[in-house]
Amino acid sequence: MTRMPNWRWGVSLLLLSWACVVLGLMAGSEGLDTDWRWSDPIVQGIRWPRTLGAWLAGALLGLAGALAQGLFRNPLADPYLLGSASGAGLGVAAALAVVSWGGAVISPGVAWAQPWVWRLGLTGCAFAGAWGAVLLTLLLARGAHHSLRLLLSGVVVGVVLSAITSLLMVAAPQAWPVMQSFLLGSTAMMGMPAVVLMAWVLLPSLLVALAMARWLDGLRLGEDTARSLGLPIGLMRWVLIGVLALCTATSVAQAGLIAFVGLVAPHLVRSRVALPYGPLLMFSAATGGLLLCAADVLARAIMAPRELPVGILTAVLGGGYLLWRLHRQPQRGTP
């Protein structure tokens, strides 16, 4: 695949993102509306927050994916590596189970939890669950000093929390339809408060990540070499894991489990341009936003008036792209 200059890739991302935003403002319950107007309350109150929210959620996942792959020096690392997705799912499942058990015989056993569930809401419970899973992973790994132990702890935490989530859904089957919507990913309920929250998270997270970009470039040479260069590996890991967890938890809490965006976005950037980590982080965030925004438009328009879960489209398209990359690598002589 021919590489392009960095400025051309940046301009392409900007133009494509703008085109996706315009298409998102046109996409309604009956497909693409060519007669849309900005003054329309539906456009301002529903389509605009949803489209912008989809871009921001994808940007958070793209940034988190680039950080995960750089931190663990593993091209298969994704934002959910530390168990945050399973933790968010457990948080939502627990909240739904508490609500559904409220009028049941066992309600006295969960009465203490109901006020907290109503205060936090599903979004707050998902955010708290994601952070709880990351903290549990760090506890099992005894800190962030060993990459392999951290990876294994994240896998174990993810499997165990997913199993507990399944048990809760078996115990509260009436909560399954809402849980299914979260697991498949959806941007349908995004409003301006969610957009503002994700924007406030994305901006400082990107600034912190860019400030540590040179450290990530040094980590590419290996941990021993990075230490010999005087890089504070321990501090770097803690800061980057914090940014990674914050971006992932915020995106998952607002949009549910969106597959492959955080994994594919950095790969797509690397396949087109050769970059140090500073521009790579910015381009990965922009590419993630573009991918999820485009998938959201397709989810609304491809089977209108029915709407597909956006997570299904990202899984199919992202998985297909990675399979194509794997097929192409032997032909190009890539090890």
CATH of residue 200's domain is: 1.10.3470.10
Residue 82 pLDDT: 87
Residue 329 pLDDT: 65
- Whole-structure pTM value: 0.87
Judge whether 1 lies within some domain.
no
Q: Which of 131, 85, 72 is nearest to 266 (CA)?
A: 72
Judge whether 306 lies within some domain.
yes
Burial of 211 per CB tally in 10 Å (0-12, 13-18, 19+):
exposed
Give dist(CA 143, CA 259) in Å, integer.
Answer: 27
Q: Which of 73, 57, 71 is nearest to 24 (CA)?
A: 57
Among all chains, which residue has been given the structure tokens 């995960």? 68
Enter the DSSP assignment of 203. H
Q: Is the dihedral of CA 210, 214, 217, 223 positive or negative?
A: negative
Amino acid at 9: W
CB 187 within 8 A of CB 50: yes
Judge whether 26 lies within some domain.
yes
Could you state, in chain order, the average pLDDT of each consecutive group of 10 residues for the chain (335 residues)?
65 89 81 74 86 94 92 84 88 80 47 49 81 90 78 89 89 80 84 91 93 80 66 79 90 88 88 78 92 90 81 85 73 42
Domains held by the chain: number: 1
Give dist(CA 170, CA 122) in Å, integer.
Answer: 19
Judge whether 10 lies within some domain.
yes
Amino acid at 329: Q
Q: Which of 245, 227, 263 is nearest to 128 (CA)?
A: 245
CA dihedral angle for residue 58, residue 189, residue 125, residue 135, rounded to 10 degrees: 0
Judge whether 279 lies within some domain.
yes
Q: Which of 183, 198, 187 is nearest to 292 (CA)?
A: 187
Q: In which domain, by residue range, is 99 found?
A: 6-332
